[in-house]
A and B are shown apart, each in its own frame.
Chain A
Amino acid sequence: MSAPITALLDGETVTAVAGEVWSALVGEGELLLPGLGPVAPAVDGPSAWVTVTGPWDGVVVLTCGASGTADLTRSVLQLDDDEQPTAEDVDDVLRELANILGGNVKSLLPGPSALGLPETGPAPLRAEDEDTCRVSASWRGHDLAITIQGASEAPAHHTTEVPK
């Protein structure tokens, strides 16, 4: 069994990774501000996540405050301000953000690992606190949370990747 995620990553690193993803995908100059305080507040909104399977097994979850999902989708898809994104667009954008976050987190973990296909829905159940790294952030005043949480057993891994 691998070390818990808190021994492999810290919140500052996760925030830095997320900031890079934001700038590249959401838009140049779009700032993801780190949340204040040591405890991340609950974020009420949809989640997207991707599984990581390897020496460390778990999920990387992005949760976006309900108020921010439409803005976020418009920004990524470069839609007009008055254009209402479809639910499918919102899910797709959240999934891709979670996918890229997951891939970049995976690159910081020890050993070869596999990334699953991203999914959306209610966030997966939280793991033990000691195997959870959770950071809160804010984009254009909308709350976001990124949670990297271990799985007690290897998570379901939906991928077409050929096993090594």
Chain B
Amino acid sequence: MRALVIDDSRAMRRIVASILEGFGYETRPAGHGREALDVLEEGWVPDLACIDWNMPVMDGLQFVSAVRAVPAWRQVTLMMVTTESEHGQIVKALAAGAHEYVIKPFTADAIGDKLSLLGLMPVPA
């Protein structure tokens, strides 16, 4: 399974990628929404995108809306991973097309639980 990790913090990209790779994912990083769209447009369409909210250039909500506007990317599961924890923000992200929402700080177990709920936990070979 493949995951795109979108966060303007290199530290956070590394932490999320390390958790996902531990679960068996192949990951690619992107520093903001526009960079992530470039990855999709070049044909690397992941099963999962983990998306920060507040980023320069293109934020997470704009990225979610952009992905949902393209039918060919409909199978990508979108999971917000963000410090935005207000109910209104969560509702806004889900309304825009995000499937799940993880609030920072999180643990590897919390990510694993969300992946299991989404049916996206890779089966060990």
Contacts and interface: CB of A to CB of B under 8 A. Distances in A.
A63 interface: no
Given A20-B105, A100-B83, A112-B86, A117 B10 contact: no
B99 interface: no
Nearest to A100: B104
Q: Main secondary structure on chain A at its contact with chain B?
A: helix
A160 B59 contact: yes
A159 interface: yes
B11 A161 contact: no
Interface in A10-39: 20-21, 23-25
Interface string B59-91: 101100000000000000000001111101000
Given A99-B83, A162-B61, A77 B88 contact: no
A115 interface: yes
Interface in A105-130: 106-107, 112-113, 115-117
Give the interface size class of chain A: 20 to 34
Contacts of B59: 159-162
Contacts of B55: 117, 160
Contacts of B58: 160
Given A100-B105, A103-B83, A115-B84, A77 B54 contact: no
B107 A160 contact: no
Interface stretch (A1-9, A89-97, A134-142): A89-97
B9 interface: yes
A117 B53 CA distance: 10
B116 interface: no
A77 B8 contact: no
Nearest to B85: A107
A107 B90 CA distance: 12
Interface of B: 8-12, 14-15, 18, 53-59, 61-62, 82-86, 88, 103-107
Given A24-B107, A112-B88, A161-B61, 20 more contacts: A23-B105, A88-B10, A92-B9, A96-B9, A99-B9, A99-B54, A99-B83, A103-B83, A103-B103, A107-B85, A115-B54, A115-B84, A117-B8, A117-B54, A158-B56, A159-B54, A160-B54, A160-B62, A161-B54, A161-B59
11 contacts: A20-B105, A23-B105, A24-B104, A78-B18, A92-B10, A92-B11, A99-B9, A116-B54, A117-B56, A159-B59, A160-B62
